A and B are shown apart, each in its own frame.
Chain A
Amino acid sequence: MARVLVGVKRVIDYAVKIRVKTDKTGVVTDGVKHSMNPFDEIAIEEAVRMKEKKLVQEIIAVSCGPSQSQDTIRTALAMGADRGIHVEISGPEYETLQPFHVSKILAKLAQDEKADLVIVGKQAIDDDCNQTAQMIGGILDWPTGTFCCKVENNNGELTVTREIDGGLETIKLKTPAVLSADLRLNEPRYATLPNIMKAKKKPVKKMTPKDLGVDTSAKIDILSVEEPPVRQAGTILPDVDSLVAKLKESGHI
């Protein structure tokens, strides 16, 4: 396989406790720590490992979003991606951007760049959609291996182990194909300082959805974003006996 396209998203860091805006239009993002979506780190890592095994020649990291998304691309480059493409979308357009739009952008880039494989994370931890890989597969009519925890390459045919509800499932896919990375696919590496420095020299092409002929007009209206109901503080019990008593009292046993 010559070329892998990896989608990376800039999201609020997974460890941050998010706050909902008081006007209920969204969550507070200004001044909040952002980083690469954890599942996308796994996607990049898998592509880099394929390259290290000489199964892949070139890795292109793509991110759709505001100008800060370039930082996310630089992280991917520092992990081992060869070049980046930043598809700039910001402001209100970005707020209603859906996997619907991103998958069209990635599908078009996969064709333009003659990619044999597209890898994305199984879901972004902000919108929790879990749609992009599946939609790219649908647009391109490529087979899609979702929720991958193991990928083996036999001369262009991929054997993929997927995490499903009752356990694991194995399927074979013909390339070109789309994969979505699950948590247990690999352990992503840290970008080392020398690699971060080297990444600064790697090329990042800037584009707009318009350049790719993708319409990013809103497919949804966000009516409100609210805090989830807060649970009442509970009690700390002194021993197992009082726990048993409480469970009996509340009718659970």
Chain B
Amino acid sequence: MFATCIKTLRVNNKFGILTRYESTLVIAEHNNEVLSSVTCNALSAAKKIGGDITVLVAGTKCDAVVQAVSKANGVSRVLVAENESFKGFLPESLTPLIIATQNEHKFTHIMAGATAFGKALLPRVAAKLDVSPISDIIGIKSPDTFVRTIYAGNAIQTLKSKDNVKVISIRGTSFELSSLEGGSAKCDPAPTGDYKTSLTEFVKQELVKSDRPELTSAKVVVSGGRGMKSGDNFKLLYALADKLNAAVGASRAAVDAGFVPNDLQVGQTGKIVAPDLYIAVGISGAIQHLAGMKDSKTIVAINKDPEAPIFQVTDYGLVADLFKAVPELTEKL
């Protein structure tokens, strides 16, 4: 009888651990100098899950980022993996590190921002753990139930994951920024191992330099489309953006036509933004573009075609020639 008691206790305990004690590993995104703001969005998503939060910082230079993240509110532990193998943050070298970390700590959730970094990395991790990853979530209903958009944001799916480990990328604009103050996490080394990969080699990055705010976190975004007619004409938008301290974005048409580089593309397959104010200039408003900006608080469109679909989502529309209206607007601000 005593034995049965112990057995029941053990089973209950195990059940309790599985249902109540969530623990989340957040993979920090950074550039060896600065923590990417999407990681702070991921931290607030991790808080919604409940339970312990651990942050993994891997890179060739981690000091500054570890400093910052260890003060983050709600983080209980920071694991640090500084190694030349992580040059270029290649998924082929980061995945074995994350798997080793997971094997040691048995997290219930592994999370990162749904950026180019997170999207490239997390599904590889999920494959190694033999679980089905969940991309770009916009809401958390419970530790196993998540909300995400499908069909370019035209439907909202609520799904329940059956996997024991949830590998999730989060949409930065759907979760607030968690504060980088008020915490004092302990820092420990991540599991060591040979993480050098012979499969892939990082060669170089060509980053577009800009003094303007970053597109995905800017409060105001000014975007141009095919109606801008040339790359040179984007100067009009830069002038307007400077007045508003705004980031500049673009539609796919503007990128394909070579007016601006690809990293400015807003839409289903580009960046998702949700600023306080989005000004669409010379953009018709295709489904794929709307997917990237329709959660903006206020949307303004300047377009000479009164039938343009963009006017169906705008708060304020101006049917006008952008080459007259934009300079006028810039001047009057």
Contact = CB atoms under 8 A, between A and B. Distances in A.
Interface of A: 12, 14-15, 17-18, 20, 27, 39, 98-100, 103, 122-123, 125-132, 134-139, 141-144, 146-147, 149, 159, 162-174, 177, 182-184, 218-228, 231-237, 239-241, 243-244, 246-247, 250, 252-253
Interface in B318-333: 318-320, 325, 328-329, 332-333
A103 B134 CA distance: 15
The 9 nearest A-B residue pairs measured at CB:
A138-B127, A134-B123, A100-B132, A143-B199, A219-B132, A131-B123, A138-B124, A234-B315, A135-B127
B92 A143 contact: yes
Contact of A142 (B131, B199, B261, B277): B199
Interface stretch (B14-22, B145-153, B183-191): B145-153
A236 B319 contact: yes
B316 A222 contact: no
16 contacts: A14-B287, A27-B151, A100-B132, A135-B123, A138-B95, A146-B91, A164-B263, A166-B208, A168-B262, A169-B205, A173-B200, A221-B162, A234-B311, A244-B333, A246-B316, A247-B300
Nearest to B277: A252
B263 A128 contact: no
B127 A252 contact: no
A129 B269 CA distance: 11
A227 B156 contact: yes
Overall SS of chain A's interface: mixed
Overall SS of chain B's interface: mixed
B313 interface: yes
A143 B200 CA distance: 6
Contacts of B90: 171
Contact of A125 (B92, B151, B271, B320): B151
Nearest to A228: B156
B306 interface: yes
B36 to A, nearest CB: 9
A137 B162 contact: no
Contact of B207 (A39, A166, A222, A232): A166
Contact of B332 (A146, A172, A240): A240
Contacts of A174: 198-200
A121 to B, nearest CB: 10
B204 A220 contact: no
A179 to B, nearest CB: 12
Nearest to A236: B317
A96 to B, nearest CB: 9
Nearest to B199: A143
A248 B158 CA distance: 38
A10 to B, nearest CB: 14
A134 B156 contact: no
A216 B34 CA distance: 42
A241 B162 contact: no
A225 to B, nearest CB: 5
